[in-house]
Every structure is written in C-alpha cells, then in structure tokens.
Amino acid sequence: MNCMFLKPRRRQYLKVKGLTLSSLFLALALSLPGLAQETPTEKKPLPRQLDNPTQDNLVRSQFGSLQQKLIDSGFQVKLEIPPYANRYGRKPYGLVSSREKTVWINPVVFDLGNALPVLIHEAVHAAQVCAGDGNFSLLNLELEAPKIASPYFLRYHNLQRKLEAEAYIVQTQPNRLELATDLLDQHCLSPDQS
C-alpha cells in the first residue's frame, strides 16, 4: 500500500492512493451494517486459511468429533458469540451454562486458529457440570499444570480457580482430545451410551 504523509502548513494528512483519511472513514462507515441501509445477507461460513490444509482437516475432524461427543452427552453446542461478558466486559472464547446445558464457542476462535483448544477447555467444564449433577464440581484430576498454563487460571479465586485450572491443565496436555473425550464418557454418559 502506498502511504505518505503530506504536511501542508499546520495540518497533517494521510494520503492513501489518492484518498484522504476522512474519505477512508466515510467508506468504512458506509460498509458497516445499519449505516449504509443495506439489506443483511445470509450468514456465510467463516473463511479459514491455513498454510497446511492437511492439518486444518485434522483439526476440523477432531473438533467435529468432540462437538458430537458433547451433543451425545446432553449439551447443546452453539457456534456463536457467548451471551455473557466477563468482568472486563469482553465476550469469552467459550462458555458453558450449567443451567441450560449449553456450550457456546465464539466464532472468532476459528480465525485465531485455537478452536480445538477452546472446545476442549469447555468440554472439561461440561464434564465438571455432569460430575456435579448440574452444578460445577471438581474432577480431581491427577495432572499437574504446566507453568505456561498457570497465568490463565491464577486470576480466578477459590473454587473458580480450581475449576479453571482443571480445564487449562487438560487443554495443555499432548493427549488433550483423548482426555476430554474420556472425561465426558466417564462423567456424562451412562454406561450403556459409552
């Protein structure tokens, strides 16, 4: 992109291929739904571009199998922005509602490339809900948290910290998909379903 700063007198303008900054803002505003009076179009699948299509297919397959395992375990899985914000006002990557038995996965995780770890994290929380008969309960895993995972759960307190620690511990294990699946089998499925 050809950018250059022009400094006529006291004002500074950004000129991009013949457009001023104000015309760029106007073009952006007109492209936003609601401002341009455009009719909304159908939702399209999120584009996903990776350098390694084989790896992408493997992740999609693993995501799909874990998603199905959650559904078989009695949870709804919604690929949409979670309805609740965290204490900082931001929507999380994933969320489990014990009351609604619903798992939300924020679609942005597909673009960020961390959809499978987020689903694994939420699957652990789903297993915690099953273990607590509808309330979050510790699974008492015999795994240690790698140091890289600690900052993610140390910001929580009391039971919430322990619940998040279990989810982050499983999420960071090399065999994380197998662990999450086993936890769902162990805590959510009746013996005749597994």
Structure tokens at 153: 């759960």
Kindly list the distances between the CA atom of residue 75 and the CA atoms of 36, 62, 188, in Å, as whole numbers in the listed order: 39, 17, 10
- pLDDT for the residue numbered 121: 97
Q: What is the mean pLDDT of each run of 10 residues along the chain (194 residues)?
A: 46 42 42 42 44 75 96 96 88 95 96 95 98 96 86 87 94 95 92 54
- The CA distance from 121 to 129, in Å, is 13
3-state secondary structure 86-114: CCCCCCCCEEEECCCCEEEECCHHHHHCC
- pLDDT for the residue numbered 53: 62
Query: What's the pTM value of the predicted model, to 2 decimals?
Result: 0.71
- pLDDT for the residue numbered 155: 83
Percent of residues in the chain assigned helix, strand, coil, to nearest 5: 45, 10, 45
